[in-house]
Structure 1
């Protein structure tokens, strides 16, 4: 069984790459939704909000400064909505 990809791990650097990232998230949900931690919209949005709240710690644990709200941050927030606990 294929593992979920949670969209793409390619950088989200523009409106177009964000659109593609969202499309890939949808495709992955349709193909692998049973393996997602948060397959319902309710759980997805709850987890996305929790990840945004905790995101500074996520970036600092990786040795990175938390970014401003840019395309990459939005892409990471969407990806986290699928898998963040």
Structure 2
């Protein structure tokens, strides 16, 4: 399931909705895999990761601007918040 979650191409609202369903399914089946498995810790990690995501794109050499909102950036933020410390 994590392979599907992390490899999913997200270019539209529909893709993002499907991604959210996969994210929910992943949490429901493996909450122990989530570093931030409470709403409080997840939201804190999400805000911190959203602030740091430019570094992620730079370090992974992705040509993506987090300053321009798109469905893929939103999904990256949510994936990052799963484990961000």
Interval of TM-score (by shorter of Structure 1 and Structure 2): 0.7 to 0.9
What is the aligned residue count?
A: 82
Instruction: Kindly state the Cα deviation for residue 29 of structure 1 after the two structures are TM-superposed.
Output: 0.5
Q: Which runs of 4+ in 1 moved over 3 A?
A: none
Given that residues 8 and 25 in structure 1 are in contact (C-alpha distance below 8 angstroms), is that contact kept between their aligned partners in structure 2?
yes
For 1:21, the equivalent position in structure 2 comes to 19
Instruction: Kindly state the Cα deviation for residue 75 of structure 1 after the two structures are TM-superposed.
Output: 0.7
| Separation (CA, whole Å) in 2 of partners of 1:46 and 1:7 | 25
| Separation (CA, whole Å) in 1 of partners of 2:30 and 2:9 | 22
Given that residues 48 and 80 in structure 1 are in contact (C-alpha distance below 8 angstroms), is that contact kept between their aligned partners in structure 2?
yes
TM-score by length of 2: 0.86
Instruction: Kindly state the Cα deviation for residue 62 of structure 1 after the two structures are TM-superposed.
Output: 1.1
| Separation (CA, whole Å) in 2 of partners of 1:20 and 1:63 | 26
CA offsets 1:5-62 (integer angstroms, 9 cap, x no match): 2871212111011001111111110100012111111111111111110011111011
Structure whose residues are more often helix by fraction: 2
| Separation (CA, whole Å) in 1 of partners of 2:76 and 2:4 | 10
TM-score by length of 1: 0.86
User: What stretches of structure 2 of length at least 5 have no aligned partner?
Assistant: none
For 1:5, the equivalent position in structure 2 comes to 2
Instruction: Kindly state the Cα deviation for residue 80 of structure 1 after the two structures are TM-superposed.
Output: 1.1
